[in-house]
């Protein structure tokens, strides 16, 4: 069995994220990191591999992104992936969900995996959708927000929370699964794994290598256009209490609530 | 035909409130762009009577396409909506907030090679076209999104669209026969809507003390329960702690939980993720206790307390008891 994990490089959690008014895209300058939600997908792949229920030959990390994104792949490999594929091309810049999902599906098609794993959301784009887009292109069944995944020969039994409570769904392989962050506690990479990551095979592909039609990706191939960026509706800033002396803090909270007749 | 096609999710004989919101919004927008408002419903024929389907007319739908296919999973609905759009030519597909709409909308995007916008809070009709407004980056900005080509896929944020009965019209019900794609038959529902944990009632409470992952462990909820008891309220929770099995699903607030608007919502150890915020932002007073001064919840709290909940919450319970007793 072969597992592909889709990973993305995103601005580091500590970086204040903002839009770039010129390009109408997220400003992705500054410190970057592997999308934290994707570490759960890698961990899920490793648990399938180590679980012994099925034989996993390979875990392959796949990303689409600018040149710098190879670092997200190194991180994915240090967490256990065997090799990685980096789809990178100027022509891809500005791709929306439709274009990104299409492009990633072309890379996956060539890999022909039995299982594709993704994170529940990218920390910057927060679209929650790439999994289902990729799945439809690959003509595979899919499920998002999965928090429990039992693997057996040829099928998965998945659990996830939907609108009315928890659903249990049986999914035949090959399949595309986006995992929720409650599925596992990702491991930390060992120093040895971090050092060794650069030596694992990393293949770089341009659009042509992946058979991606140029007019379906990038700014021009995208099916949505950002017309304007506006500030959010303003909400009056709340009061802030820094807790130094807890007795005092608590009295302040009580007084605040009492003023609003919440303790009647 | 220009028009707007929505999807109405249903469970145990009733349509989802957010789906009804999408139907209402779709009807309103269809009028503005001069098109028809239609709805797709999918499920076992025994669950989808003419009467139930026709009742969507009350929310402004002119037509309801009914298909016999599995309900509760995305791909079969993608097949049905794609066929209806291809045969009848709708200009937009619109979904209410929740979970399934994201999966169906994403599937349509791929199937029809069209644009998608999610977490949409508002839709504007301009010159016969729609522009979707989407908050991004933790709601720090809102982008206006236009579509290239048709149909455009619009996935609403939870509670963004209100379900409004606009009359007592009955929608025309049209049966559609759809051959499901092979991959759409490869996921099957084994159990739907399992309620994990006790059946607690939080919807009627005027005061809610909500706990999140910051409580550290399941036992942390005891602090919330003591405070709620002192205040005469109930206890609520985030998905993170419900998924972890610390608290019952029935107490979960947010996108795949409940929507509440109590007089007071006191959040302890909750970061304030969008999916939680959408279920409680209409509360009259929001108090947050969080040790991280940059936690997003402080952006929409009326009173923010930066500190360790383990120190603050027990003392607060005592102080409230004292105040109320005296
Ligand atoms: C499709 C989808 C649907 C979702 N539906 C829902 C939903 O219905 N409801 C929901 O709630 N979420 C939902 N989520 C999940 C949501 O995105 C967040 O992951 C979740 O709300 C986070 O829960 P939390 O605040 O408890 O945990 P965290 O985000 O981990 O926050 C914990 C907070 O506790 C603070 N903290 C830690 N220790 C202390 C301490 N000692 N004292 C004080 N503060 C402390 C931390 O600073 C942190 O801010 C959904 C997500 C998706 C993708
Ligand atoms: N550019 C990308 N390259 C690889 N994987 C991606 C990319 N964008 C999104 N993903 C995957 O899709 C998941 C959901 O992202 P999103 O739909 O953007 O919220 C992420 O957790 C990743 O696993």
CA gap B24, A202 in Å, rounded: 50
Ligand 2 contact via A121 beta carbon (within 6 Å): yes
For domain B3-185, give its CATH number from 3.40.50.620, 1.10.3290.10, 3.40.50.300, 3.40.120.10: 3.40.50.620
- Domain ranges for chain B: 3-185, 207-325
State whether A225 and B301 contact (CB < 8 Å): no
Which segments of chain B have a pLDDT < 70? 1, 326
Q: Do A144 and B102 touch (CB under 8 A)?
A: yes
Chain mean pLDDT for chain B: 97
pLDDT of residue A17: 83
Reply yes or no on whether the pLDDT at A234 is more than 90. no
pLDDT for residue A264: 83
- The verdict on a CB contact (< 8 Å) between A253 and B196 is no
Whether B207-325 and B3-185 are alike in CATH topology: the answer is yes
Q: What is the pLDDT of residues B139-175, one digit of tens each?
A: 999 999 999 999 999 999 999 999 999 889 999 999 9
Ligand 2 contact via A1 beta carbon (within 6 Å): no
Q: Which atom of ligand 1 is nearest to the CA of B296?
A: 49
Phi and psi for B293 in degrees, rounded to 5?
Answer: -60, -20
CA B252 – CA A161 distance, rounded (Å) = 11
Which is nearest to B310 in space by CA: B216, B242, B213, B207?
Answer: B216
Residue A100 has a pLDDT of 98
Q: B14 in contact with A at a CB cutoff of 8 Å?
A: no
- Shortest Cα distance from A106 to chain B (angstroms)? 12
**Cβ(A98)–Cβ(B113) under 8 Å?**
yes
Smallest CA–CA separation between A144 and chain B, in Å? Answer: 8
Dist. CA A7 → ligand 2 center (Å): 6
A 108-167 residues inside an 8 A Cβ radius of B:
124, 126-137, 139-145, 147, 157, 161-167
pLDDT digits 0-9 by tens, B92-128: 999 999 999 999 999 999 999 999 999 999 999 999 9
- Shortest Cα–Cα distance, B191 to chain A (Å): 5
A177 lines ligand 2 (CB under 6 A): no
Would you state the pLDDT for residue A24? 86
Q: In what order do the strands lie in the sheet with A175-179?
A: A202-205, A83-87, A58-64, A2-6, A115-118, A175-179, A142-152, A155-162, A165-172, B187-194
Q: What is the pLDDT of residue B326?
A: 64
Task: Provide the greatest CA pair distance for chain B.
Answer: 71
Task: Tell me which residues of chain B, numbers 187 to 216, contact chain A at a CB-CB cutoff of 8 Å.
Answer: 187-196, 207
Decide: residue B27, CB within 10 A, 0-12 exposed, 13-18 middle, 19+ buried.
buried
User: Searching chain B, which residue's CA lies closest to the CA of residue A227?
Assistant: B144
The position carrying tokens 């992952």 is: B213
| Short-list B203, B176, B179, B201, CA closest to B17 | B203
A155-202 per-position pLDDT tens digit: 999 999 999 999 999 999 999 999 999 999 999 999 999 999 999 999
Q: What tokens appear for B134 in the block?
A: 């989407």
Say yes or no: A194 contacts chain B, CB-CB below 8 A: no
User: What are the DSSP E strand ranges found in B3-156?
Assistant: 3-7, 10-11, 14-15, 36-43, 63-68, 92-95, 116-120, 122-126, 129-136, 141-147, 152-156
* ipTM metric: 0.97
* CA nearest ligand 2 atom 4, residue: A63
Q: Tell me which residues of chain A, numbers 228 to 247, contact chain B at a CB-CB cutoff of 8 Å.
A: 228-233, 235, 238-243, 246-247
Whether B275 lines ligand 1, by a CB cut-off of 6 Å, is yes
Q: What is the model's pLDDT at position B1?
A: 58
Q: Is the CB of B214 under 6 A from ligand 1?
A: yes
pLDDT of residue B179: 97
Say if ligand 1 is within 6 A of residue B317 CB.
Answer: no
Q: What is the pLDDT of residues A65-91, one digit of tens each?
A: 999 999 999 999 999 999 999 999 999
For chain A, how many residues are written?
A: 264
Which one of B269, B274, B277 would you pick to mutate in the ligand 1 pocket, going by the greatest count of ligand atoms within 8 A of its CB?
B269
The structural architecture, per CATH, of the domain B207-325 is 3-Layer(aba) Sandwich (3.40)
């Amino acid at each position: 069995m072969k597992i592909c994990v889709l990973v993305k490089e995103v601005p580091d959690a500590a970086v204040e994220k903002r839009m770039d008014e010129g390009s109408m895209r997220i400003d992705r300058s500054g410190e970057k990191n592997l999308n934290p939600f994707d570490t759960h997908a890698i961990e899920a792949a490793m648990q399938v591999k180590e679980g012994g229920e099925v034989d996993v030959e390979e875990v392959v990390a796949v990303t689409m992104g600018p040149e710098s994104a190879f670092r997200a792949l190194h991180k994915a490999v240090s967490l256990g992936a065997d090799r990685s594929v980096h789809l990178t091309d100027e022509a891809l810049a500005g791709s929306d969900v439709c274009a990104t999902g299409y492009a990633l599906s072309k890379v996956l098609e060539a890999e022909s995996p039995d299982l594709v794993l993704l994170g529940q959301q990218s920390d910057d784009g927060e679209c929650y959708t790439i999994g289902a887009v990729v799945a439809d292109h690959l003509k595979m069944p899919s499920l998002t927000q999965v928090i429990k995944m039992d693997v057996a020969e040829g099928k998965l039994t998945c659990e996830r929370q939907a609108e009315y409570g928890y659903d249990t769904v049986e999914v035949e392989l090959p399949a595309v699964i986006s995992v929720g962050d409650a599925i596992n506690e990702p491991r930390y990479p060992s120093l040895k794994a971090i050092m060794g990551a650069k030596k694992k095979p990393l293949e770089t592909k341009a659009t042509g290598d992946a058979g991606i039609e140029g007019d379906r990706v990038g700014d021009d191939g995208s099916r949505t256009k950002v017309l304007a960026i506006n500030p959010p509706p303003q909400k009056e800033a709340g009061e802030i209490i820094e807790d130094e002396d807890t007795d005092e803090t608590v009295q302040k909270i009580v007084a605040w609530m009492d003023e609003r007749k919440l303790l009647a | 035909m220009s028009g707007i096609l929505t999807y109405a999710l249903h469970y145990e004989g009733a349509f989802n409130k957010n789906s009804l919101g999408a139907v209402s919004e779709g009807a309103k927008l269809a009028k503005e762009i001069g098109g028809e408002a239609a709805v797709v419903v999918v499920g076992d024929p025994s669950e989808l009577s003419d009467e139930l389907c026709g009742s969507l007319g009350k929310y402004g739908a002119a037509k309801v396409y009914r298909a016999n296919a599995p309900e509760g999973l995305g791909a079969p609905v993608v097949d049905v909506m794609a066929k209806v759009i291809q045969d009848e030519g709708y200009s937009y597909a619109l979904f209410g907030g929740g979970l399934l709409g994201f999966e169906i909308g994403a599937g349509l995007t791929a199937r029809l090679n069209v644009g998608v916008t999610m977490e949409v809070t508002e839709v504007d009709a301009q010159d016969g076209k729609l522009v979707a407004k989407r908050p991004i980056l933790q709601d720090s900005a809102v982008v206006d999104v236009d579509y290239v080509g048709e149909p455009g896929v619009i996935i609403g944020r939870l509670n963004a669209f209100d379900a409004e009965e606009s009359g007592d019209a009955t929608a025309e019900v049209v049966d559609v026969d759809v051959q499901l794609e092979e991959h759409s038959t490869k996921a099957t529902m084994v159990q739907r809507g399992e309620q994990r944990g006790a059946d607690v009632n939080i919807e009627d409470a005027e005061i809610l003390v909500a706990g999140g992952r910051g409580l550290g462990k399941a036992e942390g909820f005891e602090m919330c329960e003591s405070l709620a008891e002192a205040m005469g309220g109930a206890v609520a929770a985030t998905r993170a702690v419900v998924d972890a099995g610390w608290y019952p699903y029935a107490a979960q607030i947010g996108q795949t939980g409940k929507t509440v608007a109590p007089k007071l919502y006191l959040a302890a150890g909750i970061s304030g993720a969008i999916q939680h915020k959408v279920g409680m932002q209409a509360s009259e007073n929001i108090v947050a206790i969080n040790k991280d001064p940059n936690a997003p919840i402080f952006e929409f709290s009326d009173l923010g307390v930066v500190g360790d909940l383990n120190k603050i919450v027990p003392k607060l319970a005592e102080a409230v008891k004292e105040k109320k007793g005296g």
